[in-house]
């Protein structure tokens, strides 16, 4: 049972894929009416946990409206005061039959939203998945009026007005406080622009056969949610009984400048939490005492400085070059004066993580032609602005971040992590991982530096363990966000600065075994 639930929780589908999966179920003999009864029954059970007994049901013309009508019937039988509202004159046959039966039970039915009596909460069944046209005129006005009531709204499958794939608002949309996603997670639930309309999201698993899911998804690159189950496959990174520090990865951080010393410290603290066997940190000579005081176990490499306090050139220990390291992470706090450093590490053969000024310098170099020359794994960790500088000819990530990050990874050959409320990660084959949980507490300077160090440390350790780079990056993204969530719970969102964030990283791993 747990295995199936874990598999279902990872699957993310587009509207077309969901239609094809449902078509297989119906073709196999499942009656549409029977499935509607099952789904609506599961929703009704969840609705009964909501406070209040006066409920308004918003009925659409399709099967989403049919689901809502079955929920209305079930609540009516359990003593709720139920009122129906639908602005549509034509309904699908099955939905129309459910409406006829609801009216025979004496459930009031209104065509004007103003006629609805005062409700404790609303259930939104206006439009289901697959909506692509803009909502306009009277229906748009009604949705806007309902939103202004500031009542709890529970949406069935997706909030009405949300594009199922991109999360785009199609003119206007229901602002749900809770959304019951039916069967499988839809892509909109992982698009940043839809989140303020979705509210709390919950999957209603109505037992879709996994064979049907596999048949439709096939061998094409998939979109997957990162879950504790996927993370447990990676963490803790396995270690043999007999080992030593250099066998557990040697990470080189190249970061910091006189102006941005904190970036080096935070990146290093993120790397330390990863458990990497050996940590070397190249910083301007003037920063060396600061790094030593925070990380006495690390090897701090003081490098010659430019007049502005940036690293002038790398000055590695004797008999050491860049190939000596399992992985390299660089960028935080470097400034653009460190351009020659980035050019040097990109031309090397070590696994590489680029962030912050490392990304800005790469953009000046020409992202795609530069990275196409690299043979070793490369990880890019941009926020939206950096992404647009790196990939100016790729679709706007603000419209469809999942499609954008996929195109960027395929064209560049890098593993690309696009930061956001739902961080998206893609590899060069087009497979995508999305982190389904985060917190606004991470929207503070330095949080990304911690993530860079964490990714670098895990990547260095994984070099000898044959773990795919994209899995490592996905694990780091989940770990980082969970630390933010945990810190926000204990300190409030305002209390989670980047340094505090690093102090919660190990607690996440301790808790992972209990999930």
Cβ-Cβ contacts under 8 Å for 510 (sequence gap 6 or more):
none
Q: What is the pLDDT of residue 499?
A: 96
Residue 480: band (very low, low, confident or very high) from pLDDT cuts 50, 70, 90: very high
Instruction: Give the gyration radius of the chain's Cα atoms.
Output: 26
Q: How far is Cα 106 from Cα 97, in angstroms, rounded to an integer?
A: 15
Query: In 114-181, where does DSSP find H-type helix?
Result: 137-148
Residue % of the chain over a pLDDT of 90 = 90
Q: Which residue has the higher pLDDT, 186 or 514?
A: 186
CB atoms within 10 A of CB 213: 20
Residue matched to tokens 């066998």:
247
Task: Return the pLDDT at 243.
Answer: 87
Bridge-partner residues for 279, per DSSP?
A: 251
Q: Is residue 366 over pLDDT 70? A: yes
**DSSP 3-state assignment of 167?**
coil
DSSP state of 162: B
Helix 505-512 with 261-273: angle, nearest 10 deg: 20
Residues above pLDDT 70, as percent of the chain = 99
3-class secondary structure, 267: helix
Answer whether residue 206 shows pLDDT above 90.
yes
H or E segment and range at residue 482: helix 469-491
- pLDDT tens readout for residues 406-450: 999 999 999 999 999 999 999 999 999 999 999 999 999 999 999
Backbone dihedral region for residue 256 (phi beyond 0: left; psi -120 to 50: alpha; all else: beta): left
**285 in Cβ contact with 302 (< 8 Å):** yes
Tally of CA atoms within 13 A in the half-sphere of 393 that contains its CB: 6
Q: What is the pLDDT of residue 246?
A: 80
Residue with the bigger pLDDT between 239 and 274: it is: 274
Residues 168 and 193: beta-carbon distance below 8 Å: yes
Per-residue model confidence (pLDDT) at position 252:
98
Mean pLDDT of all residues in the chain? 95
pLDDT digits 0-9 by tens, 171-203: 999 999 999 999 999 999 999 999 999 999 999
Q: What is the mean pLDDT of residues 319-346?
A: 95
Q: How confident is the model at residue 247 (pLDDT cuts 50, 70, 90)?
A: confident
- The greatest distance separating any two alpha carbons of the chain, rounded to the nearest whole angstrom, comes to 88
pLDDT at 383 over 90: yes
Model's pTM, two decimal places? 0.95
414/426 Cα distance (integer angstroms): 8
pLDDT of residue 514: 72
pLDDT at position 152 over 70:
yes
Confidence tier at 1 by pLDDT (50, 70, 90): very low
User: pLDDT tens digits for 123-148?
Assistant: 999 999 989 999 999 999 999 999 99
Query: Which pLDDT does position 240 carry in this prediction?
Result: 80
Bridge partners of 13?
Answer: 186
Given the DSSP bridges, would you call strands 424-426 and 415-418 parallel, antiparallel or unpaired? antiparallel
User: Could you give the count of Cα atoms lying within 13 Å of 505 in the half-sphere of its Cβ?
Assistant: 27
Mean pLDDT of 6-26: 96
CA distance 398 to 411: 19
Distance CA 125, CA 159 (A): 8
Query: What is the per-residue pLDDT for 463?
Result: 85
Q: Which two tokens stand for residue 474?
A: 């996905």
Place of tokens 């499958």: 157
**Average pLDDT value for residue range 23-50:** 96
> Could you give phi then psi for residue 13, rounded to 5 degrees?
-125, 155
């Amino acid at each position: 049972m747990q295995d199936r639930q874990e598999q279902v929780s990872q699957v993310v589908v587009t509207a077309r894929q969901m239609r094809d999966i449902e078509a297989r179920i119906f073709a196999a003999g499942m009656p549409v009416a029977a499935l509607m009864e099952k789904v609506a029954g599961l929703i009704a059970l969840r609705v009964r946990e909501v406070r209040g007994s006066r409920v308004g049901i918003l009925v659409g013309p399709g099967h989403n409206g049919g689901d809502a009508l079955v929920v209305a019937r079930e609540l009516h039988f359990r003593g709720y005061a139920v009122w129906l509202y639908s602005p549509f004159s034509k309904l699908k046959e099955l939905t129309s039959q459910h409406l006829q039966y609801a009216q025979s039970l004496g459930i009031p039915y209104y065509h004007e939203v103003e006629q609805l009596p005062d409700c404790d909460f609303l259930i939104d069944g206006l439009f289901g998945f697959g909506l692509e046209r803009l909502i306009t005129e009277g229906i748009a006005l009604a949705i806007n009026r309902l939103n202004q009531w500031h009542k709890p709204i529970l949406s069935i499958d997706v909030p009405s007005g949300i594009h199922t794939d991109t999360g785009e608002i199609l003119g206007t949309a229901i602002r749900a406080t809770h959304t019951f996603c039916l069967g499988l997670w839809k892509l909109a639930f992982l698009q940043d622009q839809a989140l303020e309309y979705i509210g709390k999201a919950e999957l209603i698993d109505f037992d879709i056969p996994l064979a049907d899911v596999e048949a439709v998804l096939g061998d094409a690159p998939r979109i997957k949610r990162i879950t504790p189950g996927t993370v447990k496959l990676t963490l803790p990174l396995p270690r043999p009984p007999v080992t030593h520090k250099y066998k557990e990865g040697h990470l080189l951080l190249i970061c910091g400048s006189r102006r941005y010393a904190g970036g080096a410290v935070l990146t290093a603290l993120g790397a330390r939490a990863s458990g990497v066997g050996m940590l070397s940190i190249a910083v301007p000579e003037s920063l060396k005492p600061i790094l030593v005081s925070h990380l006495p176990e690390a090897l701090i490499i003081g490098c010659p400085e430019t007049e502005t306090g940036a690293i002038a050139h790398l000055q590695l220990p004797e008999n050491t070059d860049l190939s000596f390291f399992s992985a390299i992470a660089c960028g935080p706090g470097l400034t653009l004066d460190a351009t020659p450093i980035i050019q040097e590490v990109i031309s090397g053969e070590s696994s590489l993580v680029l962030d912050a000024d490392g990304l800005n310098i790469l953009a000046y170099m020409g992202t795609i032609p530069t990275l196409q020359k690299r043979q070793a794994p490369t990880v890019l960790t941009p926020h939206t602005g950096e992404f647009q500088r790196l990939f100016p000819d790729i679709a706007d990530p603000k419209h469809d971040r999942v499609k954008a990050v996929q195109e960027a990874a395929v064209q560049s050959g890098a593993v690309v992590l696009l930061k956001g409320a739902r961080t998206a990660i893609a590899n060069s084959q087009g497979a995508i991982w999305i982190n389904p949980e985060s917190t606004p507490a991470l929207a503070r300077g330095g949080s990304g530096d911690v993530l860079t160090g964490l990714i670098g440390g895990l990547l260095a350790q994984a070099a000898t363990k044959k773990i795919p780079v994209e899995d490592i990056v996905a694990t780091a993204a989940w770990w980082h966000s969970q630390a933010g969530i945990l810190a926000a719970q204990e300190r409030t969102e305002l209390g989670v600065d980047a340094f505090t964030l690093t102090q919660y990283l190990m607690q996440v791993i301790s808790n992972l075994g209990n999930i």
